[in-house]
Amino acid sequence: MVRYLPSVGMEVHAELKTRSKMFCRCPVAFGGEPNTRVCPVCLGLPGALPVPNRAAVEMVVRTALALNCQIAYDSVFHRKNYFYPDLPKGYQVSQYGETNPIGYQGWLGIPVKGGGTKRIAIRRVHLEEDTGKLMHLPSGGSGVDFNRAGVPLMEIVTEFPPDIESADEARDYLVQLRSILVWLGVCDGKMEEGSLRCEPNISIRPEGSDRHGVKTELKNLNSFRAVHQGVLFEVARQSAVLDRGERVVQETRGWNESTQTSFVMRTKESEQDYRYFACPDLAPMHFEKDWVERQRSELPELPLAMQERFQRQFGLNAEHSGLLVSDRDWAEFFEESVRLGGDAQVVCNWMNADFAKLLNESGQRARRDAQEDDSTASLVTPAHLADISRLILNGTVNSKVAKQLLGEAFATGAMPSRLVEQRGLTQVSDASLIQDAVARVIEDNPGPVDQFRSGKEGVIGFLVGKVMRETEGRANPSLVQEEMRRQLEK
Amino acid sequence: MSISLDEVRHVARLARLELDEAELVAFQSELNALLGHFQDIRGIDVYGQSPHSRSSALQNVWADDDTWPSLPRGSALQNAGVTKAGLFIVPTIIEE
């Protein structure tokens, strides 16, 4: 049987996190009453003139730089002409051409199993505007809501022929891209709300052939999982088409999440049908080289680079460091805690386990700094975790007490070391106290003690637990274990 | 420079215009007359001129990322043929 090699091009649309729209100052938001965030400009009423949003342009420049792109020092907006009811002006403002988009010829590194990265070449990063939303009414007809029309939209397209060769790589690319966009603060990355949308185009070719096959484009993918499943499905579907001796048809297909299959949506208009031309209403953009270089120098360290540094600098493993860089505030929280004297591994463990759980359960987020005044931010600061790390490492408290302390810090903001002082929660390492407690537990539990002595070693955990309860969790568990074994084996 | 009947049909489809054969022929001659004007432009000597897409030398016209009040919904919808529940109503789109 013929083996087929997949090629996947990725077209990603990201709604920019500006306050106002791309060419008018209507507010940008998700949801809300239909047609309440519209004006003559975004409705395309006669005589209305667009003015580009400076913040949106800067966000695209920053993204393009983060994606290692060339910057078009001179760049213009074009009109892409087509008729559809969600497009009020009869054209979408976009950017056409090879070297006209704000960013072109870049790349994004995706992690490779076993270490290192693979470069995925990026063809362009350009700025355009979103369309309105169409909803089909059960009573017939369609309703149009233009609240989304004119929201700044950044399009990021991979190079052809594509470097992405599997469903895994397609998902990894999107994961990395999303993380960079969120990291830079240019997009909220909410795929379920449509602020980040991904349309992969998929083709296959027989092994050994260097001619790329006919591609199909997939839409309606609103999760990483859907992208992965959708690409897998299309590769299998196209393989079956070719195996039957038929041809793959170039078309746009929709992804049906409930049946996990794709269906034909439409055959696309060809590029020349869009009759692109430079928009006469919008002045060309010119970026000074100095300004671009300043933007470049002000870029933050990106997640993948930071993850690699955490592994190098702190000896964390890939999984732990990966969790830390899942969010910029989270990564900065970690670094701040380490800077304040926390042990990297201990802080990392507590952040990724207990602290993350507390945040998840409460719906709060890690605070950026101690001064921040925001009710959605947790009361636990980097200093709290550094404090807990110290208390654990110098043997003042065991991890069970530390967990209680974190819980209290979370509820009240109290500093763990203060709580220890106030309540005498210091870990009991006093040998005579532990000896007494162990002796008492052995005397009170003859059954388990007999079991242990007749060879059921596992019972020791139960007995140690009893001692911990006796000492209200404050005994040093390894000393208790040691003492228990000594007395039992006497 | 002249435009074929098929090209007129294609342009009409892009404009979502339904034209009968007589209208197609009429538009063909009108469009050909329009295109004739480009012949005049071809006659102009533009040697040494760099291409321009606009007459003004303006560049970098920006607005700050502030918001303004949007239209009251009643005003936004007032010219619509059909509305319902705050939406513009259009015929159901049938994909070609």
Q: Is A447 within 8 Å of A401 (Cβ atoms)?
A: no
Distance of CA B13 to the CA centre of its chain: 13
Is the pLDDT assigned to residue A266 strictly greater than 70?
Answer: no
Report d(CA B69, CA A39) in Å as an integer. Answer: 9
Mutate to test the interface with A, among B56, B62, B84, B96 (most CBs of A within 10 A): B62
Q: Please, which residues 27-56 of chain B have a Cβ atom closer than 8 Å to chain A?
A: 53-54, 56
Q: Give a yes or no: residue B16 inside a domain.
A: yes
Record: contact B59-A57, CB cut-off 8 A: no
pLDDT digits (tens, 9 = 90+) for B58-70: 999 999 999 999 9
Q: Is A56 within 8 Å of A77 (Cβ atoms)?
A: no
Record: contact A283-B82, CB cut-off 8 A: no
Q: Give a yes or no: residue B33 inside a domain.
A: yes
Coil, helix or strand at residue B55: coil
Record: contact B87-A143, CB cut-off 8 A: yes
Record: contact A19-B66, CB cut-off 8 A: yes
Record: contact B68-A39, CB cut-off 8 A: yes
Q: Give a yes or no: residue B57 inside a domain.
A: no
Which chain A residues are Cβ-neighbours of B62 within 8 angstroms? 51-54, 57
Rg (CA), chain B: 22
A142-145 and A74-75 as β-strands: parallel, antiparallel, unpaired? Answer: unpaired
Among residues A403, A418, A382, which one has the least CA distance to residue A474? A403
Record: contact B88-A36, CB cut-off 8 A: no
A26-49 core/surface letters (b: 16 or more CB in 10 A; e: else): bbbeeeeebbbbbbebbbbeeeee
Report d(CA A257, CA A279) in Å as an integer. Answer: 38
Q: Which of B61, B67, B77 sits opposite A25 (nearest CB)?
A: B67
Residue A433 binned pLDDT confidence (cut-offs 50, 70, 90): confident
Q: Please, which residues 58-87 of chain B have a Cβ atom closer than 8 Å to chain A?
A: 58-68, 70-71, 73, 76-77, 82, 84-87
Mean pLDDT in residue range B48-58: 78
- Residue A237's alpha-carbon distances to A117, A247, A251, A318, in angstroms, are 30, 11, 13, 35
pLDDT digits (tens, 9 = 90+) for A319-372: 999 999 988 999 999 999 999 999 999 999 999 999 999 999 998 888 766 666
Nearest CA to CA, how far is A371 from chain B (Å)?
27
Hey, which residues does B84 pair with through a beta bridge?
B87
Q: Record the tokens describing residue B31, joined without a space.
A: 């469009």
Q: What pLDDT is stored for residue B57 in this prediction?
A: 81
The residue of chain B with its CA nearest to that of A45 is B76
How many structural domains are present in chain B? Answer: 1
pLDDT digits (tens, 9 = 90+) for A34-70: 999 999 999 999 999 999 999 999 999 999 999 999 9
Q: Is B84 within 8 Å of A137 (Cβ atoms)?
A: yes
Hey, which residues does A111 pair with through a beta bridge?
A117
Which chain A residues are Cβ-neighbours of B54 within 8 angstroms? 278, 280, 283-284
Is the pLDDT assigned to residue A467 strictly greater than 50?
Answer: yes
Q: Give a yes or no: residue B60 inside a domain.
A: no
In a 13 Å sphere around the CA of A252, the CA atoms on its Cβ side amount to 13
Partner A contacted by B1 (CB < 8 A): no
Mutate to test the interface with A, among B58, B61, B73, B82 (most CBs of A within 10 A): B61
Report d(CA A164, CA A8) in Å as an integer. Answer: 5
Which backbone phi and psi does A196 adopt, to 5 degrees?
Answer: -130, 120
For the CA atoms of A387, A388, A391, A396, the dihedral, rounded to the nearest 10 degrees, stands at: 140
Which chain B residues are Cβ-neighbours of A33 within 8 angstroms? 73, 86
Q: What is the DSSP letter of A147?
A: T
> Domain range spanning residue B14?
5-42
Q: Give a yes or no: residue B34 inside a domain.
A: yes
Helix ranges (H only) for A129-217 are 167-184
Mean pLDDT in residue range A203-231: 94
pLDDT, chain A, mean: 92
Q: What pLDDT is stored for residue A265 in this prediction?
A: 83
Report d(CA A371, CA A40) in Å as an integer. Answer: 42
Coil, helix or strand at residue A443: helix
Which chain B residues are Cβ-neighbours of A136 within 8 angstroms? 92
Residue B96 binned pLDDT confidence (cut-offs 50, 70, 90): very low
Could you count the other beta carbons within 10 Å of the beta carbon of residue B33?
9
Among residues A387, A362, A371, A366, which one has the least CA distance to residue A323? A366
Residue bearing the bigger pLDDT, A455 or A176: A176
Q: Record the tokens describing residue A185, joined without a space.
A: 């603060």
Residue bearing the bigger pLDDT, A18 or B39: A18
Record: contact A27-B61, CB cut-off 8 A: no
- Residue A473's alpha-carbon distances to A151, A401, A437, A460, in angstroms, are 56, 6, 12, 17
- How many residues would you count in chain B? 96
Q: What pLDDT is stored for residue A237 in this prediction?
A: 96
Mean pLDDT in residue range A93-113: 95
Record: contact B65-A18, CB cut-off 8 A: yes
User: Can you list the positions of beta strands (E) in A62-116?
Assistant: 70-71, 74-75, 78-81, 91-94, 103-111
Residue A475 binned pLDDT confidence (cut-offs 50, 70, 90): confident
Spell out the residues 6+ positions from residue A107 whose beta carbon is closer than 8 angstroms to its own.
A67, A68, A119, A120, A121, A122
Is the pLDDT assigned to residue B94 strictly greater than 70?
Answer: no
Which backbone phi and psi does A5 adopt, to 5 degrees?
Answer: -105, 125
Record: contact A141-B92, CB cut-off 8 A: yes
Q: Which of B61, B86, B95 sits opposite A35 (nearest CB)?
A: B86
Which chain B residues are Cβ-neighbours of A265 within 8 angstroms? 95
Q: Record the tokens describing residue B81, joined without a space.
A: 């043929």
Nearest CA to CA, how far is A229 from chain B (Å)?
26
Residues of chain A with pLDDT > 90, as a percent, come to 70
Mutate to test the interface with B, among A19, A21, A25, A83 (most CBs of B within 10 A): A25
Peptide bond into B51 cis (omega under 30): no
Mutate to test the interface with B, among A33, A35, A139 (most CBs of B within 10 A): A35
Q: Give a yes or no: residue B32 inside a domain.
A: yes
Q: What pLDDT is stored for residue A370 in this prediction?
A: 64
pLDDT digits (tens, 9 = 90+) for B6-46: 999 999 988 889 999 999 999 999 999 999 888 888 888 88
Q: Give a yes or no: residue B47 inside a domain.
A: no
The residue of chain A with its CA nearest to that of B61 is A283
Spell out the residues 6+ positions from residue B59 whose beta carbon is closer than 8 angstroms to its own.
A283, A284, A285, A286
Domains of chain A with bracketed CATH: 4-291 (no CATH), 301-423 (no CATH), 431-488 (1.10.10.410)
Residue A267 binned pLDDT confidence (cut-offs 50, 70, 90): low
**How many contacts does A have with B, using Cβ atoms within 8 A?**
127
Which of A111-115, A134-138, A159-163, A179-183 is the least confident region?
A111-115
Report d(CA A82, CA A473) in Å as an integer. Answer: 70
Record: contact B87-A145, CB cut-off 8 A: yes
Helix ranges (H only) for A340-414 are 344-350, 356-362, 382-393, 399-412
The sheet carrying A91-94 orders its strands as A91-94, A78-81, A277-278
Could you count the other beta carbons within 10 Å of the beta carbon of residue A263?
10
Record: contact B73-A53, CB cut-off 8 A: no
Q: Give a yes or no: residue B58 inside a domain.
A: no
Helix (H) or strand (E) holding A264: strand A261-266
User: Is the Cα dihedral A481, A483, A486, A488 positive or negative?
Assistant: negative
Hey, which residues does A9 pair with through a beta bridge?
A201
Report d(CA A23, CA A149) in Å as an integer. Answer: 10
Mutate to test the interface with A, among B18, B58, B70, B73 (most CBs of A within 10 A): B70
